[in-house]
Amino acid sequence: MDQKLVVFGLDGATYTILNPLMNENRIPFIKKVCEEGVKAISKSVYPPVTAPNWFALATGLNPGQTGAHDFFWYQEDYKAKPVTSYKIKGKCFWDTMGEQGLKSIIFNYPLLYPAYKINGETVCGIGGIKDRRLTYPESLLGELDKQTGGYEIQISYMDKKYEDNPERFFKDLRKHWEKKKEAIRHQFKKEWNLFFAVISITDFMQHYSWRYLDEKHNQYTLNENAQEEFKRIWENIDKFLASLVNEESNVLFISDHGFGAHTHQFYTNIWLKNQGYLKEKKSTTNLLKKTGKKILNKTGIQSTQLKQKIKKKSGVIDVVDKINTEKSKAFSPIHGTGQGAIFVNEKLAKVDGLIEEMREYGSEKKINFDFKKTQEIYQGSYVKQMPQILFTVNNFQSTVHSKQLTGEVFKKNTQINHTGSHRMEGIFMAKGPNIKNKKIKQISILDVTPTILEYFNIKPENKLDGSRLDIWK
C-alpha cells in the first residue's frame, strides 16, 4: 500500500483559536503545516452545522443532493427523523476508492451510523449508538473496547454536572481523549491507503469554554485555569497527531465549520404564533389531567405515575404534534439550533412576505436576520422536502429554537455550558512531499472529495459540486 494519505478532521477548528496558539508556539506541528504547506479558510455549506457539512465533505455534493441540511429530515407530516448513513444520498469518497481496490480506515466520522460495509473499517462518531452497528466490521467494537478499557463515543458537555465546573469538565474530557487516542493508535497501525480520523473534542470544548476565552462575551468569566486547560488540550492534540506521521506523510487538516460566541436565543414558533402565522392544535393534555383527577380519587394512583401516563398517552414528542400544520400559515419544525427553519404554507402565506415581516421585527428590536431560501442556495431533488426558509440571527451569535410555543421571543443565552456556536469559516491545511507550499485564501468544504480523489488518480462517476484544489505536486 504505497500510496497513502492521512486526513485529520478537527471538528469546529477555527483560526480564531489556532492563530493565537501558533503565535504562542503551543501547537508547533500545526504551525509547521501552515508554514511549509497549504493554509486556507474552508467555507462551510450553509448552515455551518455538523450534519450537512461532514456529508458535504464526504461526497462533494451540496445538501440538495445529499438530503442533509440539518441533523434531521422531515416526513410528509413534517415530523423529524434523525439523519443516518442510510438516509444520505451520494457516494462517499471512501466508497469510490473502495471500488478501485483502495482501503480506507474511517474513524469517529459523525452521523455515519449505522456503519456499513466498505473496503476497510469504519467507526461512527456523534450520532452513533454503542451497539454492534457502531463499527464495520461489527467485531471492531470489541477490539476498541479491549484497547481502551471501554470505548466512548463522546462526552456530554451539556450535562448539568459541568455547569460552572470547568475543572470537572476538563478532567473528564482528558480521560475521554485518552481513550480516543488509544483507539486512533490501534487503527493507525493497520493497513490502509487513506486514514481519516475526526477529532470531536475540539467542538465539545469550544462550545463549553467560549465564555472563558472571549473577553467581549456577554457571559465572560475570568478563569485562568480554564483558559490554560483549553490550551493544554490543544497542545496535546497537536503533539499526538504529530506522533502519528513523519516527513514522508501527506497530511490534510479540515474542519466542518468555525466557531464564535453564543450570546442569545431566538424562538421562532413563539414569534410565528404571536404574529398569527402558527395555529396550535387543541390540547388533549388538560382533558387527560381532568380525567386523571377522577381516577386518582378512585384508585389512589400517585401524581408522578399519572404524569408519566399522561405524557405517554398524549404522545407529544415532536413540536409539530402541538401545531395544526394544515391551518398554520407557517411553522418551524424540530431542527438543530445553529439556524432557524420555517415551512411556509404557500396557499395561505407568501415566503417573501414572511421574510419581510421578520426583517421589520428585527429592525424594531435590533435583531439582525440573515435569510436563505433553500431553493436558491441548494440544487438537487431533496430541496422540495426541506423548509423553504433557513435563517440565522446576529451573525450566528444567537441560537434558534423551535420547541417552545410560549414565552419570550428573544433573550440572552441561558445555556451556561453552551457559550460558543458555529461559524461559516473553518480551516484547511495540508503538508507533505506531494503537496505544494502555497497560501490559498479560501476553499469550499465541497472541494475536499474531488481533491482526495485526484490524489489517488480517480475520476468521480458523476459531476460533483466541489472543485479539485491545486495543491498536489
Report the distance separating Cα 472 and Cα 467, nearest Å: 14
Q: Give 353-358 contacts, CB < 8 A, sequence gap 24+.
A: 354/277, 354/329, 354/330, 354/389, 355/389, 357/275, 358/271, 358/391
Q: How far apart are the first and last CA of the chain?
A: 20
CB contact at 8 A, 427 and 206: no
Cα separations in angstroms, 88 against 55, 125, 461: 8, 16, 17
- Domain residues of the chain, as ranges? 5-262+420-455, 264-280+323-412
CB contact at 8 A, 387 and 253: no
Looking at residue 312, its pLDDT comes to: 40
Report the distance separating Cα 121 and Cα 355, nearest Å: 46
Looking at residue 105, its pLDDT comes to: 98
Cβ atoms within 10 Å of 101's Cβ, excluding its own: 8
Task: Tell me the fold of 5-262+420-455.
Answer: Alkaline Phosphatase, subunit A (3.40.720)
DSSP states of 113-178: PSP---SEEEEE-TT--SSGGGEESTTHHHHHHHHHTS--S---TT-GGGTT-HHHHHHHHHHHHH
Cα angle, residue 190 at apex, residues 184 and 193 outer, rounded to 5°: 100
Looking at residue 450, its pLDDT comes to: 98
CA-wise closest residue to 270 among 342, 364, 363, 366: 342
Give me the residues paired with residue 400 across strands: 266
Cell numbers linked to 289 = 389531567
pTM of the predicted protein model:
0.91
pLDDT along the chain (473 residues), means of 10: 90 98 98 98 97 98 96 93 91 97 98 97 97 97 97 96 97 98 98 98 98 96 97 98 97 98 98 98 55 39 38 57 96 94 97 98 98 97 96 97 96 96 98 96 98 97 95 97
Looking at residue 87, its pLDDT comes to: 86
Q: What stretch of H or E contains 344?
A: strand 340-344
Q: Is the N-terminal amide bond of 63 cis, ω within 30° of 0?
A: no
Report the distance separating Cα 144 and Cα 228, nearest Å: 30
Looking at residue 214, its pLDDT comes to: 97
Beta-sheet pairing, 104-109 with 120-124: parallel
Cell numbers linked to 440 = 490559498
Amino acid at 205: M
Give me the residues paired with residue 74 across strands: 80
SS (H, E, C) 191-203: CCCEEEEEECHHH
CA-wise closest residue to 351 among 390, 321, 400, 325: 390
Report the distance separating Cα 253 and Cα 149, nearest Å: 28
